Structure 1
């Protein structure tokens, strides 16, 4: 696991109990927090605002539970019109993944300076880490957008509640558990997700977003 990218998980068997505890506690703790009260939004204008949002960063925790793998990771996500960057680090601060991608393809630079590329960001992450993460689709999902979803539902506050999407043969179900109000640098208010659950077969990914920074 992550053997191509770093030595971050060489100690995995010795600390497997700790990883399981962290992942389990993280998932249970996050799911027990009620959604913060928010004002309702107008669906069409809200989605247009999110479509126009192209300069932002967010960070938080990712819990990954698969059939053969469980990990608790920190994540950092940066979006600009030029590209998107996703960095995953272990709880010891070691970089597990440093991914940059655009609509044209994806690139990973390893801890020892090696570069790996692939036309599809999702497949590159799977190849290098063994983790099934729909990173390309996350560009819209982290904002609460159902872009090209096969099916989606809207909450009573007119925010995205759930969506279903087939991604390269994998059926993903996404649940948006909580949202938050976020003020941009230009003093514009956005309503953005702070907790997202993603499931596919035996895989479950929990994103807990602790910080948003909107640079527009």
Structure 2
């Protein structure tokens, strides 16, 4: 666990440089127009197998981190992998309907029913894992209050039923095959801020 925390601490050395690069992707193809939020929402609900890769900037009163990440979704599990700017694995999180499991950089494995608990206790990072399945693809949670942009894509959403009140703002979208998906988003909870920049979406059939 100590080595895991040391690796996360080293990420702070690259924070300012990496965060300045967040959102600096090449121009993407035009977004596919939709006629209503319901049309866009139904299309996103068909998205069950995918991977998002990019950068995660993290700020709270005690630390600043910059990490590379992959978020993978399939029918039976979700995986989050975090890496330093040098490519060193910080941790791998696997979530199934029965459990959450983290493997750290030393190969140690920790299991718990609550993925948020594992992340917080092993890395010190407060990441709303339970909401990411929806938010990462631009869907609000079932109990979220949300607003849309003029193109009928999600502009912002915030939790209303959770003890931890998170707000998410979407600043840029990109086209990945037939899906219009978030490219840049900012998450805020009290004094904690996450900046998520997706550089690549991989859609599987």
In the alignment, what sits opposite 2:190?
Answer: 201
TM-score if structure 2 supplies the norm length? 0.89
**Alignment RMSD, CA only?**
2.5
TM-score if structure 1 supplies the norm length? 0.85
Note if 1:38 corresponds to 2:38.
no
Contact 1:175–1:197, Cα closer than 8 Å, also in 2:
yes
Note if 1:164 corresponds to 2:158.
yes
In the alignment, what sits opposite 1:186?
Answer: none
Tell me the distance in 2 between the aligned counterparts of 1:142 and 1:98. 18
1:171 alignment partner, SS class: coil
In the alignment, structure 1 segments of 5+ residues that lack a partner are 184-188
Contact 1:122–1:136, Cα closer than 8 Å, also in 2:
yes
Note if 1:131 corresponds to 2:125.
yes
Tell me the distance in 1 between the aligned counterparts of 2:136 and 2:115. 16
Match of 2:14 among 8, 13, 19: 19
Match of 1:63 among 57, 69, 87: 57
2:158 alignment partner, SS class: strand
Contact 1:126–1:132, Cα closer than 8 Å, also in 2:
yes
Q: Which moved more, 1:44-53 or 1:201-210?
A: 44-53
2:41 alignment partner, SS class: helix
1:170 alignment partner, SS class: coil
1:123, CA displacement in angstroms? 1.5
In the alignment, what sits opposite 1:180?
Answer: 174
1:35, CA displacement in angstroms? 9.9
Contact 2:55–2:66, Cα closer than 8 Å, also in 1:
yes
In the alignment, structure 2 segments of 5+ residues that lack a partner are none
Match of 2:88 among 77, 83, 94: 94
1:144 alignment partner, SS class: coil
2:166 alignment partner, SS class: strand
Match of 2:43 among 45, 49, 56: 49
Number of aligned positions between the proteins: 204
Tell me the distance in 2 between the aligned counterparts of 1:46 and 1:24. 30
Contact 1:89–1:96, Cα closer than 8 Å, also in 2:
yes
Tell me the distance in 1 between the aligned counterparts of 2:173 and 2:133. 16
In the alignment, what sits opposite 2:7?
Answer: 8
2:2 alignment partner, SS class: coil
1:137 alignment partner, SS class: helix
